[in-house]
Amino acid sequence: MFPNTRSLFVWCLAAPLEVEGAILTSRPKPIVVSSSPPDNAGIPLDSFVSFSFELSSWPDFAGNLTHPNTFSYNLLNNIGQLQGSMPVARVGGNTQDIAIFDASQRTGLVGVVRPNISADYPTIITIGPSFFDSYKTMPKGMRYTHGFNLGANSSADRAATYASAAYACKAIGDNLAYWEYGNEPDLFFASGYRPFNYSEADYVSEWLNGTLHIEQVVKSACPSLKGTKFMAPSFAGVAANGYMTLDPVKVFKENLNADDNIGIISSHNYMGVSTSPGITLQGTLMNHTNVIAKAAAQLNVSRNIAALGGNLAPRVPFILGEHNSLARQGRPGLSNTFGAALWGVDWNVYLASQNISRSHMHQGTNYRYQSWQPIQTNLTDKGTKPPYYGNLAVAAMMAKPSASSILKITHLEASSQNTSFYTAHIDDVLSRILIVDLHTYNTTANNYTTNFPRPMVEHEFKLPKGCKSGQVQRLMANGSDAVTGITWDAKSYAYELDNGKGVRMFNVTCGESVEIDNKGGVKVQVPWSSAAIVSLEC
């Protein structure tokens, strides 16, 4: 039913979904869907589906002026076309606080990997002026957040960081979203950048001094760039715990926004650490209960910062400026599977429903949780990875007909540990229902025998009066452990087919419709380990 992405063909079957050998079960009662969104529905920002790129990997993902990365260009453009606004690219991460600017360096980035420290990225880095050319290669409408080095503590290194701001603002120009100064300073002690007694007051003092210098350089070098703001504080954790030594709420109590230059509040999140024992696909990622619990910690930070009031709430949105499945670049067999794509759908749409306003999923060359590998290396083949298909489904759920339209996302209480439901209202009219099935279904004998028939659940919804028709788009693969053969709406976005552009696949259902009866009832069948969006005319 679901071919390998190397199978090359271009049409789909406009027919009801069929899964060979599937066992069909039904929910005990219909889910009632309201004609209007509740008062607490989430209102995501435009460009909700966005990305965070490891600074040392950015030249790989973007290319340069002579060799732009058209594969990345196509994949980002796909997202922009689906959601109606291009992603925002945040360029930073761990290597942000390692990179030293050298105005005389002709090469964009020179990095030295020291495997005893990290095999995943260079830990000695210098960047030259041509590094910033990579900001000029991506699709029209892309905006950028560039991360400056706060970790380096010598006067020479800080002077170099401030000097780099002139090159950054000239390259990015009006495509600037925000600046960022420092990545995860609550881990500066663990990283060896600051002593254990480095306090919230120390961080705030450094941050205010540094951002003032950056703003002065930008004002001089790019006088037409008005009203530039920062993304902050970009902490790894939600509270000080000994390993993470700073509290995100306390830094705002210490008046981090004294200069009123924070345009967006950023936090980081991972569902676990890839090297920890007990991490599983079903228990850690494909688990709606765990999604709610992890989000609750972020929501607590957001509420506590908003409660401080002043010049922060309610006008400064709270986002996840860096996140993905498992910290330390993910784990093979988990972070690179179709199950991780389904987690990404559930996690991101749940965030949107809770007014976490934008999502930057972190990417890096050779990272296990990446949405795509931008170049060929001796470790990873260039190509589209399973999480990207989840990004597409989230973008489709966030689609708006115009920039002035108001999108509201609601999490439905009928959700359970293994199945989640969401609605999208546009301008207060019911527009979409999302169903995410989080039961693992493996194509190997991991949990089941190889002959275990794939279950399929029929969900019934009671829609408001006036809903006339429904069209179904599906996120599908052979199982939760699949790493190839994945489709969104019967399209493959494989590098091998058309350099990341969508290609209709042979023998995959598309153009599927569902009937709405005269009482507003509609039934949708969803196989285990899959997701479906029902677009409604109401």
User: For the CA atoms of the chain, what is the radius of gyration?
Assistant: 23
| C-alpha distance from residue 20 to each of 275, 371, 435 (Å) | 37, 29, 21
Secondary structure (DSSP) of 365-405: TT-TT-SEE-S--SSS-SEE-HHHHHHHHHHHHT--SSTT-
Cα–Cα distance, 528 to 505 (Å, whole number):
21
Cβ count near 411 (within 10 Å): 25
Active site includes 200? Answer: yes
DSSP for 271-338?
EEETTSTT--IIIIIS-HHHHHHHHHHHHHHHHHHHHT-TTTTTTS-EEEEEEEEEETT--TTTTTSH
Catalytic residue among 54, 184, 322, 512: 322
Q: Which residues pair with 455 in a beta bridge?
A: 23
- Phi, then psi, of 446 in degrees rounded to 5: -60, -55
Best CA proximity match to 324, nearest among 32, 50, 36, 22? 50
Residues 138/76, Cβ–Cβ less than 8 Å = yes
Residue of 54, 200, 206, 512 marked active site: 200
Q: Cα separation of 360 and 47, whole Å?
A: 10
Point out the residues that are catalytic: 200, 322
